Amino acid sequence: MNANALKLEEVQVEEKEMFQNQLNKQKVEEHVIKVVSNNEIAKERKAENDMLKEDIAQLLGDSDEPMVVELPNGEFAVIKIRKNKREVLDREALAHVSKIDKDEFKSQLDFAMLVKQGKITTSMIKHCMAEKESKTVSIRVVKT
């Protein structure tokens, strides 16, 4: 092979590599766009599912019994509502009782400092605790 033929072959290899790199970059861009789009769709679907589950919880009310729904494909969905109770601090009530701005109650460290300074007491905190009830809807598909 002569020098001109070698140079021509090198140029062709470089062009092929450049073309392949450009093609790879284009594929990466397409994949990234698809992933971002899928993530947006997933967020929208999750928000919609959350709203639907809230509606289901309201429609079923205080029922403790699981409900079974037959799906169009012949499978069954089991709907269960789990009730959760927990105690939460009513920060507005504590702010009112202690005459301190509620924005000062941001972290546990803030509470510790205010108790140490004597601005609030543990009995004030206990007095401002309230029981909060929430419902969690679970929908599980059972295959037959």
Domain boundary assignment for the chain: 1-60
Within 13 Å of residue 69, how many CA atoms lie on the same side as its CB? 11
The residue-averaged pLDDT of 38-50 equals 97
For the four alpha carbons of 52, 53, 56 and 57, in that order, the dihedral sign comes to: negative
Residue 1 clears pLDDT 60, i.e. is over it: no
5-14, 16-25, 129-138, range with the lowest pLDDT: 5-14
Mean residue pLDDT across the chain = 88
pLDDT of residue 43: 97
pLDDT-based confidence at residue 102 (cuts at 50, 70, 90): confident
Beta strands 67-70 and 129-142, pairing class: unpaired
Tell whether the model's pLDDT for residue 2 goes beyond 80.
Answer: no
